[in-house]
Amino acid sequence: MPQGTLPNTLPADATPNTYDATNIRAFLVSPDATEIIPDVTVTTAAIAANAVTASLSGPAPVTVPTGTVLVFGTTRITLTQAAALTAVPAPFSIVAAPAAVAANSTAIFSVLLEIPVAEELTPSFTDQEETIRVHGRSTPIRNVNGKDMTAMLRTVAGLDNPVVARLYAKGMRGTPNNRERILWRYPDGLAILATVNIGAPSPQGQTGNSMRHQFSANLSGKAFYCNLNDANPAWVELGT
């Protein structure tokens, strides 16, 4: 039988987008941070091996907190005082430099330190609610202890990575000295920010496989979420 022409109008396709979970990222937020600062370039004057001061410069009014590790090339310089950056180099105390650093070398500072080469990051939220039996099933009637969150942080990076070393140091301490703020960012635009206690580290591995370092993160403060697809993204407190 003869066939007609194809319709001019294409039907709408409502198939939802899918996203690759490999692109989920998590960051430690600097404990002194009051705002999210994008990557900032820090420049140094020449640093001699074993020097205990370094003259740093960068865009004002960024302050690099005590304990920050700045990586100039392959040399890690650890600050022992907060460095309030200005365009003119100023001296700041550091842990004795492990090697010399050439003048005008640069490092990148951010209040966000990414957990490297992560295998597992996803947090899990639960509700703690009182229930009663209604027609044979447990029905929530009120919130008892609010919403809780736990997460596992597993990475194949080693203890020579400053972020892993920081998680180890926190995981070995007791409350409240094991607190961190963690930011999760998902490829579809979801962001989660939570204050957590870092649990004791669990190094894992066996012959023939890569080592893993695993930490637990349990909610110990507030948690917030944000939809970065909104016209004006804003943090919303969990449970409100």
User: Cβ(181)–Cβ(29) under 8 Å?
Assistant: yes
Q: Which residues contact 91 (CB under 8 A, 6 or more apart)?
A: 53, 54, 55
Q: Which of 88, 109, 130 is the last residue before a domain boundary? A: 109
Q: Global pTM?
A: 0.75
Q: For residue 195, what are the domain limits?
A: 21-26+116-237
Does residue 91 lie within any of the structural domains? yes
Shared domain check, 149 and 64: no
User: Cβ(63)–Cβ(5) under 8 Å?
Assistant: no
Q: Which of 83, 109, 135 is the last residue before a domain boundary? A: 109
Residue 194 has pLDDT above 80, yes or no: yes
Q: pLDDT tens digit string along 90-146?
A: 999 999 999 999 999 999 888 888 898 888 888 999 888 888 898 888 888 877 777
Q: Which residues contact 198 (CB under 8 A, 6 or more apart)?
A: 167, 170, 171, 178, 179, 180, 215, 216, 217
Q: Phi then psi for 158, rounded to 5 degrees?
A: -95, 180
Shared domain check, 67 and 133: no
The type of residue at 199 is G
- Dihedral over Cα of 93, 96, 100, 105: its sign: negative
The type of residue at 203 is P
**Distance in angstroms (rounded) separating the CA atoms of residues 149 and 127:** 9
Q: pLDDT tens digit string along 58-97?
A: 998 888 888 888 989 989 898 999 899 999 999 999 999 9
Does residue 222 lie within any of the structural domains? yes
**Distance in angstroms (rounded) separating the CA atoms of residues 114 and 91:** 28
